[in-house]
Structure 1
Amino acid sequence: MKLDNTGAGSRPRHWTTLAAAMLAAACLDGENPAPTVGSAEPGADFGADPAHLRAGPPRLRLGSASGEGQADFHDIAGVVMDRAAGVLVVANRGDATLRTFTLDGEWRGTRGGAGGGPRELGELTALFGYRGDSVVVYDGERGAASVWPYAGGEVRRVRMPIPPGDTLQSARLQGSMDDGRLVWAVPRPDRSVDEIGESHPLQVVIFLTSADGTGFDPVAETTGVRVFSYPGDAYISGRIPHSPQPFVLSGDSVLLFGSTERPRAERVTGGGMPLAPIEFSVPPVPLTAEDRETALAPIRAEMNRRLPAQLQSRIASTLEVWAFPDSFPPLGGVIAGDDGRVWVTDYRSRMDALRGEGEVSVWSVYAGPGSPGRDVEFPGGFDLLWADETEAVGVVRDEFDVEHVWIVPLLAGARSPGT
């Protein structure tokens, strides 16, 4: 299950894009190839450091640039692999389609498409597994979820519930519980202080839809229950509020990960009961003056191109005092494994993977609270999207920026961290 750290469930953009969006808001508001199968060599996973492991070579590669095939991917929003059902589903954001394959890479069908029809999507933003027979899709344009059975048939839809009298808006689907309830979350920054350099509190409120597994009743499914409110760290105006962000682990647990100051995951059950947190050993990556200028250049260019002169001047003066952190966020990506473990990577490594840079992509896997992280090396540019105890699925971009879905085996040493 892919979890969005800008936002499960969609592909993350460079942090400068987020900064530009925040700045604008502040100023304006006050094809099917044959699969390649390989085998991992036993013992090839251990390097000099036994705690630093290497994933095996890809057993399956899917991807093409013909423009005509079912494995022509563009901007993959998520992947779900279901071993019991023998299904691999790829959410292709570029044309808002769901591509279904067997676990050996044989194409089975394509559904969806961009549009406003009952079997179409405005914006395919995120993808999650649902109860072992379906996937649940988040449509970012409509702000709604839909459940698509593997075998086809009826597409069921539900909107984000807002309790009577509540003013929370812009909720986002984060996944589903084991009993079928959908998990939604709303970030709530406190905008009562608007001065540059001042701290603002940020919290996340979690909602659950009803647990009706037979379908989405239009009444019952809009009587959401608020189960948890996580008061996040204060963040400086002008910095990107990377945390907290909610996700769902298997076993009826909601995970609220990360902190701009403390790399950790707060955990809570679907009933709102706090659980022991998971501490991540992810060192901060310093943010340099060059990083700052790299971030500001496109913001200046975009704002100068689109905004009137008076507002341009206001933005220019604001950029001079724009508050940047001393380091990148500790966490660049978080994946809730299908086996209940948590995978994390640092911010710079995640951005390098998205650009296809670097000789390896390193993710650390945690079995739970008190368990040490185990570093696992993946091929360079591998952007992890889904994992369980035996395999991981990710996206790799080639030299022509064509996206390929890779399934790689996790060797024994990478399966049981801390044991």
Structure 2
Amino acid sequence: MLLAACLEGSPDRGGSATTEADAAPLRAGLPRLSLGSWTGDGHTDFHDVVGAIVDRRAGILVVANGGDATIRTFGLDGGWRRARGGTGRGPQEFGDLTALFEYRGDSLLAFDERRDEASVWSYADGDVRRIAAPSLPEDSLRYPKLYGALADGRLVWTAEKPYRQPDEVGESHPDTMLIFLTSPGGGGFDPIARTLGRRHFSYAASIHQQGRAPFSPEEFVLPRDSVILFGSTERARVERASGTGTPLEPIMFSLPPLPVTGSHRAWEIAERRRVLNSRPLPPSLVEGQTAVLDILPFPDSFPVLGEVVAGHDGRVWVRGYRPPEMDSTRVRDEPSVWSVYAGPGSRGRDIEFPPGFDLMWADELEAVGIVRDEFDVEQVLIVPLPAAARGRREP
């Protein structure tokens, strides 16, 4: 059933895309557009932006604002167009807007995580087509999640396949994320690949208790045209499969792993103790949870990758993992560095963006991302890319 199963566990294949060691990072230009304020009722009052997309043919910038579940449209000059959506149960409302994608060049694709539902929003009119998550095989898969669509209209979903065998005390077992496609109309179930999901441990304090390991790697899935990129942030590579499930050559990154030190462990345990002590819990429960902290397992290193973004032009953008103790002040003071790769065997190039820049969309000309100021006010920036950063398009 799985033509590209467990690719992540196979030996390394293909050429390495190593960054030029002696090349200084290229610097992105000054933002040509900045949208974001906080007046309480403005079109650019953003809160919890979950997606931002540029469509040059339509001449629009679209921002998905998770705070009020609205899809807001602007011109490429920042001029206001309209807002759609909102929180509620209506036909054009969301329970929880958590992601936004482009869809076939004339529509937007949104994901409502609370309803396990996708919706297609046409540029041309106000019609909205809702697509429920496909029915999954009983007792084997759970938590369907939308990751976008291929060029032919098939939706890309994942579902979690839990590890069914009981854990030994203190042992870790990863869940599996199964990647599957629907038909262009949204129905069906066509599994094509799988990747590692989150890790879970059992603890001596409670043999029935499971918890996520500190710094456990996250899975990622990135559809692009007729190719699906996927993997786990644990490894410095992107697995690739065609829309038919055929394994393709992976993209190798040159980001080294960051070791977990004693200070990292101390920070994590102290933070968990702070959260535990802030809750009005019975003393017996606090005692049990404290015992869990004393035996909390730690990996030797952080996940290699922090974030992975598929560029609109076919390139792949990655940022190294940032330790959780890196506070917002430090993030705001240091440039945000992303590495961009044109494809298998290509050489990565580092690009410096404004401090705190979280990339959401990019092509060969510009990148769109989110920054937050000292008051956590979110701004959407469109930043020009240096000409030297442009790479070949991958076939």
Give the TM-score category using the shorter length.
0.7 to 0.9
Give the Å deviation of 1:274. Answer: 0.5
- Could you report, residue by residue, the CA deviation over 1:180-219 in whole angstroms, capped at 9, with x for unpaired residues? 111000132414232343231432211211113xxxxxxx
Unmatched runs of 5 consecutive residues or more in structure 2: 1-20, 202-211
Letter in 2 for 1:173: L
Letter in 2 for 1:285: L
* RMSD over aligned Cα atoms: 2.6
Give the Å deviation of 1:224. Answer: 2.1
- Could you report, residue by residue, the CA deviation over 1:273-324 in whole angstroms, capped at 9, with x for unpaired residues? 1001111111122333333233233433444515444433322211111111
Q: How far apart, CA to CA, are the structure 1 residues paired with 2:60 and 2:138?
A: 42
Q: How far apart, CA to CA, are the structure 2 residues paired with 1:233 and 1:227?
A: 16
Conserved 8 A contact 2:198-2:219: no
Partner of residue 390, structure 2: 415
Q: How far apart, CA to CA, are the structure 2 residues paired with 1:165 and 1:300?
A: 39
Conserved 8 A contact 1:371-1:417: no
Specify the SS of the correspondent of 2:305. coil
Q: How far apart, CA to CA, are the structure 2 residues paired with 1:242 and 1:280?
A: 16
Q: How far apart, CA to CA, are the structure 2 residues paired with 1:200 and 1:281?
A: 27
Partner of residue 255, structure 1: 229
Partner of residue 145, structure 1: 118
In structure 2, relative to structure 1, the CA distance for the partners of 1:165 and 1:349 (3 Å cut) is closer
Letter in 1 for 2:25: H
Conserved 8 A contact 2:160-2:197: no
Letter in 2 for 1:227: I
Q: How far apart, CA to CA, are the structure 2 residues paired with 1:245 and 1:392?
A: 20
Specify the SS of the correspondent of 1:116. coil
Partner of residue 226, structure 1: 191
Q: How far apart, CA to CA, are the structure 2 residues paired with 1:316 and 1:382?
A: 36
Q: Is 2:129 aligned against 1:129?
A: no
Partner of residue 291, structure 2: 317
Query: Which residue of 203, 206, 221 corresponds with 2:176?
Result: 203
Partner of residue 66, structure 1: 39
Conserved 8 A contact 2:220-2:232: yes
Query: Which residue of 36, 47, 69 corresponds with 1:96?
Result: 69
Partner of residue 256, structure 2: 283
Query: Which residue of 383, 403, 406 corresponds with 2:358?
Result: 383
In structure 2, relative to structure 1, the CA distance for the partners of 1:143 and 1:234 (3 Å cut) is closer
- More strand, by proportion: 2
Give the Å deviation of 1:418. Answer: 11
Q: How far apart, CA to CA, are the structure 2 residues paired with 1:410 and 1:140?
A: 33
Q: How far apart, CA to CA, are the structure 1 residues paired with 2:80 and 2:393?
A: 38
Letter in 2 for 1:224: F
Give the Å deviation of 1:124. Answer: 0.9
Give the Å deviation of 1:58. Answer: 0.6
Conserved 8 A contact 2:51-2:64: yes
Relative to the length of structure 2, the TM-score reads 0.84
Give the Å deviation of 1:163. Answer: 4.1
Conserved 8 A contact 1:203-1:244: no
Conserved 8 A contact 1:284-1:330: yes
Partner of residue 218, structure 1: none
Specify the SS of the correspondent of 2:287. helix
Unmatched runs of 5 consecutive residues or more in structure 1: 1-47, 213-220
Conserved 8 A contact 2:159-2:179: yes
Q: Is 2:369 aligned against 1:404?
A: no
Moved more, 323-332 or 405-414: 323-332
Specify the SS of the correspondent of 2:158. strand
- More helix, by proportion: 1
Q: When the two structures are aligned, how many residues end up with a matched partner?
A: 362
Partner of residue 39, structure 1: none
Conserved 8 A contact 2:154-2:181: yes
Q: How far apart, CA to CA, are the structure 1 residues paired with 2:164 and 2:269?
A: 23
Identity %: 52
Q: Is 2:122 aligned against 1:157?
A: no
Q: How far apart, CA to CA, are the structure 1 residues paired with 2:197 and 2:41?
A: 48
Q: How far apart, CA to CA, are the structure 2 residues paired with 1:310 and 1:89?
A: 50
Conserved 8 A contact 1:254-1:267: yes
Q: How far apart, CA to CA, are the structure 2 residues paired with 1:343 and 1:353?
A: 23
Q: How far apart, CA to CA, are the structure 1 residues paired with 2:122 and 2:280?
A: 43
Partner of residue 37, structure 1: none
Specify the SS of the correspondent of 2:332. coil
Q: Is 2:186 aligned against 1:175?
A: no
Give the Å deviation of 1:151. Answer: 3.2
- Could you report, residue by residue, the CA deviation over 1:150-185 in whole angstroms, capped at 9, with x for unpaired residues? 234111111111245463110100110000111000
Specify the SS of the correspondent of 1:348. coil
Q: Is 2:26 aligned against 1:53?
A: yes
Q: How far apart, CA to CA, are the structure 1 residues paired with 2:327 and 2:255?
A: 17
Specify the SS of the correspondent of 2:369. strand
Conserved 8 A contact 1:284-1:329: yes
In structure 2, relative to structure 1, the CA distance for the partners of 1:103 and 1:354 (3 Å cut) is farther
Give the Å deviation of 1:75. Answer: 1.1
Partner of residue 86, structure 1: 59
Specify the SS of the correspondent of 1:206. strand
1:13-32, aligned counterparts within 5 Å?
A: none
Give the Å deviation of 1:50. Answer: 4.0
Higher RCO (CA < 8 A, seq sep 6+): 2
Specify the SS of the correspondent of 1:292. helix
Q: How far apart, CA to CA, are the structure 1 residues paired with 2:224 and 2:376?
A: 32
